[in-house]
């Protein structure tokens, strides 16, 4: 079989589907029948200079995929599988990989670098392959630049795969020395210098000790700063990426270098290639992020706990930094609106300016306003757009007192620009700026007079509605129009309109009410369009999504105000009819928005929503079955919760179908893991709504909750992201238990829960002893302890007394600084004392 591996690898890339499938199946069969032989064949292929580049590259890729995966459980399986392989086979494979680093073929060297790092990521933490780093470092002294380049690339990947704790300091020093020497200006080969610069980026996490040593740190910083001046654009970009990483990892070590870094970044922003200039701006954005975090810690109650002092780099650089950023705002691209994901110098500069405003507050205003006043009325659209963008960027950070007088003057000007400016770029940015005005400067928490008043609300809404019509909404006329830029304006206008609705008060609500028939009519018109091309259908879907989103915000606002609720609900039948018609259009994004709007309508209509359930149920079921577009599934699960709260026991006729689908979702390996916590939480919502009628689902739901609880209580999170997910899962499980316990309270069937009580208490013990739950989980967990005592009463008393940590857990929660945790614990204490003393 191994003799044919080259041909199979080439055939696996064939344009002929049948040839490709046969080759893929043969490779898979080889892997399953003889894994060591398969991996050895692949590494021989990769190392063999007589083989075609295409087969070598694919051999390396399959090798890499045999060692790593995105999903954590699969990654663990592959790790264990490699560790279990015969030691002789592993040694041969590793020898061939190291040999490939000397290949004259660049793609073979690069692939070998990645595979070596993957093997190192498995073996080095296990104290295996101890000779690897020394072997790589000996390559650095080779004469051939291609060997040095591949070795530095390997060291970079290795630092990405292996955690710093797994490598001893002596080896770290040698790696850093090799990398920094490779970056030096004296290195004549630019490929070597680029590989070294990229390697340093990954190695920075290993350099804690070295950055604490003044001399070593000075040397590293000098070499990085010199590399930003390289004649090669890729090296300059990579060097600035290193500076960005240093700014967040070693913020507290930067003071002596800031003047030089300012000069280097200013030069790059003003005169270098865009890819380099963007990284230079990113350095200052990163410094802002660090200082915002530190200042947030200062302002919290834990002032003394902040490890890092704030050096106020942004405040010191302000007089020179702000003019540099304002210059970038004038470097817009003509067609930047056509690409949703566009990122250019002007956008990066505006984003950084916004972060600067959040960092320094009021101090930025006098530096930006002269630029705004000078450019806002200029004939060139670039100057008007830049001025508007600058003003919008500084609306979060400075105090309302400082901004309110400026905003009150600017509001009319902005509304006029949104109606009359000839440039779509300017209109787009104006709509965005208005949205930020309403978001940050209009609200009950502010002491300044409201921006939106009964006098100007009508004008604001009229202008926003006009700006939506400013571009052709009639999709039948939209054929062959190059209006992608206008759709950005429409999106910005809707977002701003939503912000105005959110800000509205009892006083302005009657004016907002006038929007309802207008938006409904717009949605109705999109549903009446005849046969559409693919492009037109896409535009219609985008518009329907915006309209459903707008209706959701209106429903939440007007449906939640006593003064408008009754008159608003007169529109409920027509609205529901429109939403059901939207579901027939079969577009995931629109389904999300329509589903959210229906959830809001159910909440507003309460038990009266029951009359829509017969028609709506099929779409609810479709949403719960939508594994592929898992966001739709997650939102639908949330809407089931809304329906439970609105309908209470009137949801009972639909519960068999809903519970069946939720249980299927939980059993599926296809469904994205993020949907599982809300599904557990949804069990609690259903139990609360239907009370003791949940009895027939206990035998299905409780075992699932128990196995998920065991898994989540004892899982060791590999990183912060995994810990966040584990805590979301725990919280979902606890919310389910809470809902079930409360649902059965005062029911003669309460005793049916007794068999499950010991396991619930074990789960709470495990959470308490694990010491890694967040405040949300702590609050829900202590609440569940209270629910258990409250529902099961005296029957729960002995179990709680036997629990290993209930007492300490309760005491810890009672002493918590978090008022929500404390409130939950106070209630639990009363319920427990009743159960125990009874």
Instruction: Give yes or no for residue 675 having a pLDDT over 90.
Output: yes
Element containing residue 243 per DSSP (H, E): helix 233-249
Read off the pLDDT band of 431 (50, 70, 90): confident
| Max Cα-Cα span within the chain | 85
CA–CA separation, 284 vs 321, rounded Å?
A: 9
pLDDT of 303: 47
pLDDT of 210: 93
pLDDT digits (tens, 9 = 90+) for 111-140: 999 999 999 999 999 999 999 999 999 988
Percent of the chain topping pLDDT 70: 93
Helical spans, DSSP H, in 668-756: 676-690, 698-713, 720-743
pLDDT of 478: 31
pLDDT: which is higher, 133 or 333: 133
Residues in the chain: 838
Instruction: Give yes or no for residue 537 having a pLDDT over 80.
Output: yes
Read off the pLDDT band of 149 (50, 70, 90): very high
pLDDT of 456: 74
Instruction: Give yes or no for residue 514 having a pLDDT over 50.
Output: yes
Instruction: Give yes or no for residue 444 having a pLDDT over 60.
Output: no
pLDDT of 662: 95
Instruction: Give yes or no for residue 72 having a pLDDT over 50.
Output: yes
Read off the pLDDT band of 708 (50, 70, 90): very high
Q: How far is CA 399 from the centre of its chain?
A: 29
Packing angle, helices 484-503 and 457-469, rounded to 10:
160
pLDDT of 836: 83
Instruction: Give yes or no for residue 144 having a pLDDT over 50.
Output: yes
pLDDT: which is higher, 467 or 681: 681
Residue 524, both tokens:
């109705």
Instruction: Give yes or no for residue 446 having a pLDDT over 70.
Output: no
pLDDT digits (tens, 9 = 90+) for 281-307: 999 999 999 999 998 887 754 444 557
pLDDT of 213: 94
pLDDT digits (tens, 9 = 90+) for 37-59: 999 999 999 999 999 999 999 99
Residue 201, both tokens:
């980026």
Contacts 24+ apart (CB under 8 A), 671-676: 671/627, 671/630, 671/633, 672/627, 672/630, 672/633, 672/634, 673/725, 674/630, 674/634, 674/725, 674/728, 675/630, 675/633, 675/634, 675/637, 676/708, 676/729, 676/732
pLDDT digits (tens, 9 = 90+) for 741-772: 999 998 999 999 999 999 999 999 999 988 88
Instruction: Give yes or no for residue 93 having a pLDDT over 70.
Output: yes
Confirm if 553 and 502 have CB atoms less than 8 A apart.
Answer: yes
Tell me the pLDDT of the chain averaged across its residues.
Answer: 88
Phi, psi of 647 (to 5 degrees): -90, -20
CA–CA separation, 548 vs 560, rounded Å?
A: 18
pLDDT of 680: 96
Residue bearing tokens 């978090």: 818
Average of per-residue pLDDT across 350-377: 95
Residue 346, both tokens:
């002007």
pLDDT: which is higher, 604 or 536: 604
Instruction: Give yes or no for residue 475 having a pLDDT over 60.
Output: no
Read off the pLDDT band of 2 (50, 70, 90): very low
pLDDT of 506: 83
| pTM attached to this predicted model | 0.71
DSSP symbols for 133-195 = HHHHHHHTT-S-HHHHHHHHHHHHHHHHHS-GGGS-HHHHHHHHHHHHHHHSTT---HHHHHH
pLDDT of 838: 64
Of 30-44, 488-502, 677-691, the one with minimum mean pLDDT is 488-502
CA–CA separation, 114 vs 665, rounded Å?
A: 37
């Amino acid at each position: 079989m191994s003799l044919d591996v080259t041909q199979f690898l080439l055939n696996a890339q064939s344009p002929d589907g049948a040839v490709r499938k046969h080759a893929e199946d043969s490779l898979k069969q080889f892997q399953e029948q003889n894994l060591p032989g398969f991996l050895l064949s692949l590494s021989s292929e990769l190392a063999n200079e007589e083989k075609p580049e295409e087969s070598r590259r694919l051999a390396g890729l399959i090798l890499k995929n045999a060692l790593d995966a995105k999903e954590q459980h699969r990654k663990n399986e592959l790790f264990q599988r490699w560790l279990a392989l015969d030691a002789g086979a592993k040694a041969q494979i590793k020898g061939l990989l190291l040999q490939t680093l000397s290949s004259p073929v660049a793609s073979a060297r690069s692939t070998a670098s990645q595979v070596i790092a993957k093997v190192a990521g498995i073996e080095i933490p296990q104290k295996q392959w101890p000779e690897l780093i020394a072997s790589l470092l000996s390559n650095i002294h080779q004469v051939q630049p291609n060997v040095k380049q591949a070795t530095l690339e390997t060291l970079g990947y290795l630092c990405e795969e292996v955690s710093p704790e797994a490598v001893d300091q002596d080896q770290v020093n040698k790696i850093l020395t090799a990398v920094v020497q490779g970056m030096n200006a004296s290195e004549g080969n630019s490929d070597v210098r680029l590989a070294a610069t990229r390697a340093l980026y990954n190695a920075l996490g290993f350099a804690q000790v070295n950055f604490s040593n003044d001399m070593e740190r000075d040397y590293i910083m000098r070499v990085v700063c010199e590399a930003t001046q390289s004649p090669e654009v890729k090296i300059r970009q990579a060097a600035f990426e290193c500076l960005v990483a240093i700014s967040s990892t070693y913020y507290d070590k930067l003071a002596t270098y800031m003047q030089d870094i300012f000069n280097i970044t200013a030069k790059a922003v003003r005169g270098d290639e865009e890819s380099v200039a963007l990284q230079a701006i990113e350095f200052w954005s990163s410094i802002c992020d660090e200082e915002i975090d530190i200042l947030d810690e200062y302002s919290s109650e834990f002032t003394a706990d902040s490890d890092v002092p704030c050096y106020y780099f942004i405040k010191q650089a302000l007089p020179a930094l702000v003019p540099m950023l304002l210059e970038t705002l004038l470097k817009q691209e003509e067609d930047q609106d056509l690409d949703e994901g566009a990122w250019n110098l002007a956008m990066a500069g505006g984003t950084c300016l916004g972060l600067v405003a959040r960092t320094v507050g009021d101090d930025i205003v006098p530096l930006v306003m002269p630029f705004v006043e000078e450019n806002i009325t200029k004939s060139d659209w670039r100057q008007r757009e830049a001025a508007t963008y600058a003003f919008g960027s500084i609306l979060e950070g400075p105090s309302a007192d400082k901004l309110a007088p400026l905003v009150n003057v600017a509001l009319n000007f902005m509304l006029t620009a949104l109606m009359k400016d000839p440039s779509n770029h300017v209109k787009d940015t104006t709509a965005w700026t208005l949205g930020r005005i309403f978001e940050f400067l209009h609200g009950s928490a502010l002491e300044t007079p409201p921006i939106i008043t009964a006098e100007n609300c009508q004008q604001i809404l009229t202008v926003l509605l006009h700006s939506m019509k400013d571009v052709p909404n009639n999709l039948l006329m939209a054929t062959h129009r190059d209006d992608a830029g206008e759709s950005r304006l429409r999106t910005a206008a809707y977002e701003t309109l939503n912000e105005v609705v959110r800000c509205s008060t009892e006083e302005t609500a009657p004016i907002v009410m006038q929007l309802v028939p207008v938006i409904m009519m717009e949605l109705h018109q999109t549903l009446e369009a005849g046969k559409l091309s693919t492009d037109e259908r896409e535009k219609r879907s985008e518009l329907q999504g915006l309209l459903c989103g707008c209706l959701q915000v209106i429903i939440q606002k007007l449906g939640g105000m006593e003064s408008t609720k009754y008159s608003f609900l007169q529109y409920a039948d027509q609205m529901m009819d429109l939403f059901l018609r939207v579901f027939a259009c079969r577009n995931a994004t629109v389904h999300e928005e329509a589903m959210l709007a229906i959830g809001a309508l159910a909440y507003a209509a309460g038990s009266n929503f029951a009359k829509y359930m017969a028609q709506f149920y099929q779409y609810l079921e479709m949403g719960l079955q939508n594994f592929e577009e898992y966001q739709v599934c997650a939102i639908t699960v949330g809407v089931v919760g809304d329906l439970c709260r609105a309908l209470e026991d009137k949801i009972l006729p639909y519960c068999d179908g809903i519970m069946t689908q939720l249980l299927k979702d939980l059993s599926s390996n296809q469904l994205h893991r993020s949907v599982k916590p809300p599904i557990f939480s949804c069990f609690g919502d259903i139990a609360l709504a239907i009370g003791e009628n949940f009895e027939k689902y206990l035998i299905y739901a409780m075992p699932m909750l128990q196995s998920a609880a065991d898994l989540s209580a004892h899982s060791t999170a590999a990183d912060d992201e995994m810990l966040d997910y584990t805590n979301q899962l725990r919280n979902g499980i606890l919310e389910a238990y809470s809902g079930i316990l409360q649902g059965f309270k005062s029911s003669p069937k309460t005793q049916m829960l007794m068999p499950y009580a010991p396991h619930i208490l074990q789960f709470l013990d495990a959470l308490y002893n694990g010491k890694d739950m967040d405040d949300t989980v702590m609050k829900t967990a202590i609440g569940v302890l209270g629910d258990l005592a409250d529902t099961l009463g005296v029957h729960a008393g002995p179990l709680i007394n036997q629990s290993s940590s209930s007492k300490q857990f309760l005491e810890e929660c009672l002493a918590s600084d978090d008022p929500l945790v404390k409130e939950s614990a106070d209630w639990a204490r009363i319920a427990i004392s009743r159960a125990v003393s009874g």
